[in-house]
Amino acid sequence: MMASLRFLVFLLVLGASIFAAGHASAEEQQTDPRQRAQIHTELGGAYFSQGQLGVALDELNTAVSADPRYAPAYSMLGLVYMALREDGKADENFRHSLSLNDADPDTHNNYGWFLCQRGKVDDSIPHFMAALKNSLYATPEKPYLNAGVCSRKKGNDADAEEFLLKSIRLQPRQPQALFNLADIYFKRANYSEAKKYITQFFKITAPTLESLWLGIRIEHRLDNRSDEASYALQLRKMFPDSPEAQALRSGKYE
């Protein structure tokens, strides 16, 4: 009797599960194709941010199947393929996204960064500038930062400085921008300006090997022995086996 009762409960639960799944599927089918594409694109973006690239691809392919003209899905596909190092597919999807919506600032910024990372700096800068043309773009500091970092890849510190300064005027708490400005001014022998930016860097983020090494050399040039010793202590403690720590022990600063 008890066995029969358990089997009946099992059937009821199974039936409810099948009904719920069917109901959800029917609901999705009734949803507007653009809305389905948006939902699956957002899911794809969430999985991408968690490093689950395979699941992200599944969601994004579902998105473009629901609405082949939904530009953000292709932009996100570009990012996923970029992470997978499938550059041909990344480039194709970024371009397709822009063919559907050439005014999207996020896509221009992401495509510009892709091009920069693949060594196509001259092609990347126009995309960063295109992103900035949209007055409603919520984070214009990002393309300025990216343009600055990419300009440095070609040794163009003059343009890099201009882009990076614009970026921190919009959002002062950007470690990457602060570090690059400190490095630019150090290389120009403008040590007081370099100190200003590396000090701001250390106020908002944890020190890195590169930032400590730069801080040491800046303070050494300014003859600030106390700050130099503080940075040196941190570098030796955090990165004892690094080439920089070995150079420091030998009294070499370049």
Provide the CATH topology of domain 32-102.
1.25.40
- pLDDT band per the 50, 70, 90 thresholds, residue 140: very high
**228: alpha, beta or left? (left if phi > 0; alpha if psi -120 to 50):** alpha
> What is the per-residue pLDDT for 31?
73
Q: Where are the alpha helices (DSSP H) in 188-242?
A: 191-204, 209-221, 225-238
Q: Which residues contact 69 (CB under 8 A, 6 or more apart)?
A: 100
- pLDDT band per the 50, 70, 90 thresholds, residue 15: very low
The burial of 31, by beta-carbon neighbours within 10 Å (0-12 exposed, 13-18 middle, 19 or more buried), is given as: middle
Kindly report, residue by residue over 153-183, the tens digit of the pLDDT: 999 999 999 999 999 999 999 999 999 999 9
> What is the per-residue pLDDT for 252?
81
pLDDT of 9 > 80? The answer is no
Kindly report, residue by residue over 183-196, the tens digit of the pLDDT: 999 999 999 999 99
Average pLDDT over residues 132-156: 95
Kindly report, residue by residue over 194-228, the tens digit of the pLDDT: 999 999 999 999 999 999 999 999 999 999 999 99
Domain residue ranges of the chain, discontinuous segments joined by +: 32-102, 191-254
- pLDDT band per the 50, 70, 90 thresholds, residue 14: very low
